[in-house]
Amino acid sequence: MLLGLDAAELADLLGPEHPRFRAQQVYEALYRHRVADLAAVTTLPTALRRRLAADHRVGLPEVERRYDSADGTRRYLLRLEDGRTVETVFMPEPSRATFCISTQVGCPVGCRFCMTAALGLERNLSAGEIVGQVLLLLREHGLEPGRDRINVVMMGQGEPLLNLEAVLKATRLLVDPRGVGISPRRLTLSTVGIVPKIHELAQAPVRPKLAVSLHATTDEVRCRLIPIARKYPLADLLAACRAYPLRSWERLTFEYLLIRDVNDTDRDARRLASLLGQLRAKVNLIPLNPGPDIPFEPPDPERVLAFQARVRRVLPCFVRKPRGQDVYAACGQLRRMALDGNRQACGAISTLASRSVKRTMPE
């Protein structure tokens, strides 16, 4: 597939008999104009267009199913070229839209509170498959990065830092103003805290903003929630964050999942503020989204506010609103959960039916 190739790779593919600007035309057709079919690229000479269309596919993912939440959130189950499926979430707001994209099919990490963990890792996504999710949502919703405010967060299925090469290539393609044109200030990667990879990310000249899933203020609680945290103690994780070279406009984000009676006390809040107080950072609190097989409970709403108030004394702290919980689109719920017809918005079904999408239920 062509998605995922940069301008130099497209020039190699076309061969030396074509002038360089032809590759640029193909590049712009793919990433700026978001064509689904190369036959539509009328700026190319007919013979070249035919050859390209015969030999290559663009490689946009296909919408296998779409689940519409009452709050406007849409969870897409997308089919990749090898038939595997992955999820992408579209979250509209009055003045902007947020795309939550996946970086792996499943996830190898095994956090105790996350439904994606149950899938295990099926495979990494390629750069083209990561970019393809953004292109598909732009097409589906008629959005233009130059005109509309669009945030892209790599917070869907998968651990982005365990697929860093593809994530960085996708980042370069996404933020290229001659291509997709997402603002580099509006592209964020969230990691569970793979310390050596944070150091590697820090060296990348073009990189997304960094969000770290902290979720605990002691190694003991963190390891209970995130078993692989044993390899990356809090002291090392925070040292990597302190060493991280922030751009002038950038702040680190720390995500902190609030779980009833596990990490939601005032003592936790005070410890969190003192751990992060010296960093240029903000905290996003995420009240746990419950789900089948998740052995934890969400916190009381008053606890969330009290926790936020304590942290706020020291650094900016926000509470993340759950989006799309009714269609399993919220953080940690991406497990290709199939829903019966009654729980789905009827609009979603009729739109899909008109496109003759495969109707088998995902697992």
Rounded to an integer, what distance in angstroms lies between the CA atom of residue 30 and that of residue 23? 11
286 counts as binding ligand SAH under rule CB under 6 A: yes
Q: What per-residue string of b and e applies to 264-300 under the rule 16 or more CB within 10 Å gives b?
A: bbeebbbebbebbeebebbbbbbbbbebeebebebbe
Number of residues lying near ligand SAH (CB under 6 A): 16
User: Which pairs with CB-CB distance under 8 Å and at least 24 residues apart come from 234-242?
Assistant: 234/275, 236/195, 237/193, 237/195, 237/198, 237/212, 238/275, 238/279, 240/195, 240/198, 240/199, 240/202, 241/198, 241/212, 241/279, 241/281, 242/278, 242/279
Rounded to an integer, what distance in angstroms lies between the CA atom of residue 303 and that of residue 317? 14
285 counts as binding ligand SAH under rule CB under 6 A: no
- Stretch touching ligand SAH by CB under 6 A, among 31-39, 177-185, 285-293, 346-354: 285-293
Confirm if 320 and 289 have CB atoms less than 8 A apart: no
Per-residue binding letters, 12-51, with ligand SAH (x by CB under 6 A): ----------------------------------------
Query: Of all residues in this chain, which one has the CB nearest to ligand SAH in the complex?
Result: 332
Annotation marks residue 317 as catalytic: no
Rounded to an integer, what distance in angstroms lies between the CA atom of residue 194 and that of residue 199? 9
- The listed partner (ligand SAH, ligand SF4, none) that binds 27, CB under 5 to 8 Å by sort, is none
11 counts as binding ligand SF4 under rule CB under 6 A: no
- The listed partner (ligand SF4, ligand SAH, none) that binds 315, CB under 5 to 8 Å by sort, is none
Q: Determine which one of 64, 87, 159, 255 is catalytic.
A: 87
- Stretch touching ligand SF4 by CB under 6 A, among 111-119, 263-271, 278-286, 302-310: 111-119
Residues 203-262 interacting with ligand SF4 (rule: CB under 6 A): none
The DSSP call for residue 362 is: P
171 counts as binding ligand SAH under rule CB under 6 A: no
Residue appearing with tokens 């860093």: 164
Q: Would you give the distance in Å from CA 296 to the centre of its chain?
A: 24
Q: Which is nearer to ligand SF4, 3 or 286 (CB)?
A: 286
Phi, psi of 68 (to 5 degrees): -100, 125
192 counts as binding ligand SAH under rule CB under 6 A: yes
187 counts as binding ligand SAH under rule CB under 6 A: no
99 counts as binding ligand SAH under rule CB under 6 A: no
What sign for the dihedral angle of Cα 263, 265, 268, 274?
A: positive
- The listed partner (ligand SAH, ligand SF4, none) that binds 117, CB under 5 to 8 Å by sort, is ligand SF4
In one-letter notation, the amino acid at residue 335 is R
Q: Which is nearer to ligand SAH, 29 or 259 (CB)?
A: 259
Report the interhelical angle of 7-14 vs 20-31 (nearest 10°). 120
Among 89, 107, 187, 269, binds ligand SF4 (CB under 6 A): 107
Q: Which is nearer to ligand SF4, 217 or 344 (CB)?
A: 217
In one-letter notation, the amino acid at residue 350 is S
Residues 231-260 interacting with ligand SAH (rule: CB under 6 A): 255, 257
Among 3, 60, 109, 170, binds ligand SF4 (CB under 6 A): 109
Confirm if 99 and 353 have CB atoms less than 8 A apart: no
Annotation marks residue 250 as catalytic: no
Look at residue 255 and give its three-state secondary structure.
Answer: strand
Site for ligand SF4, rule CB under 6 A: 107, 109-111, 114, 116-117, 158-159, 192
Catalytic residues: 87, 331
Site for ligand SAH, rule CB under 6 A: 113-114, 155, 159, 190-192, 213, 255, 257, 286, 288-289, 294, 331-332
